[in-house]
Structure 1
Amino acid sequence: MAIEELLYKDLTYKLRGIFFKTYKELGRGLNENIYRNALVVELEKNKIAYKKEIEIPVFYENIKVGKQRIDLLVDERIILELKATPKLHHESIKQLLFYLKATDIKLGILVNFGDKLEIKRYIN
């Protein structure tokens, strides 16, 4: 897919810059919440709308059996799922895909502040 065809191209370009800046400033090895808080600072500085820790109910046979939490919802249209592990795991991808399906949001970005910065886009 050419860059011109990317979903929410301008916003995702800004977000990538924020991810790189945050990783460069903080480095690796910190708790996921620290990275999230730093991203919130950058989102506010850049006047990008966001919500954090959005609850997603989980149902079994139409009965609510639990809930999951989205790390950040940016501009009501991009889910950011943050990790701080040495490498991304398949479970993290499945988690983000669940969030996309449950919310009908079109784009999710999985960001791992691990041994190296990993940024993965997923389309619903």
Structure 2
Amino acid sequence: MAMDFTHAEITASVIDAAVRLHQELGPGMLESAYELLLADELSRRGHEVERQRTVRIVYRGCTVDKAFRIDLLVDRVVVVEVKCCERRSPVYARQLLTYLRLMKLEVGLVLNFGLPTMKAGIARVINTQAR
């Protein structure tokens, strides 16, 4: 059973877990491995975590049942996109912002485990339209 956490508490917990995971295992694994291990660690910390959740969108009466798939949804309010690339790319944050807008959620994180340090691979994305 998940506890009630604030956005700040959830993102702090996700970032802490990602940093620890990166410090222990380093860069170079598949995104799916980082995603699974991060989800497990967050569950151990008392968070409700959904992996590979499909999201439906409706646009002008047209419904797309599986419009996209998010890596992690933490406590039903924070979307986490896991990457493992050698560089940061602004497209990841833009993609996450689109997901947040379509889901009407406020906060998300892009975590790129492919960089030398986890700190360099963290991008917090805020959807100001959800407020």
TM-score under structure 2 length normalisation:
0.81
Letter paired with 2:62:
I
Letter paired with 2:61:
N
CA RMSD across the alignment: 1.7
Could you tell me the percent identity over the aligned residues?
Answer: 29
Matches within 5 A, 1:53-72: 53-58=52-57, 61-65=60-64, 67-72=67-72
Aligned pair count reads 118
Q: Secondary structure at the match of 1:102?
A: helix
Unaligned runs of 5+ in 2: 1-5
Unaligned runs of 5+ in 1: 1-6
> Matched residues in 2 for 1:10 and 1:68: separation?
26
Letter paired with 1:99:
Y
**In the alignment, which residue of structure 1 is the partner of 2:85?**
85
**In the alignment, which residue of structure 1 is the partner of 2:125?**
122
> Matched residues in 2 for 1:11 and 1:63: separation?
34
Matches within 5 A, 1:1-124: 8-58=7-57, 61-65=60-64, 67-116=67-116, 117=118, 118-124=121-127
> Matched residues in 2 for 1:49 and 1:84: separation?
23
TM-score under structure 1 length normalisation:
0.85
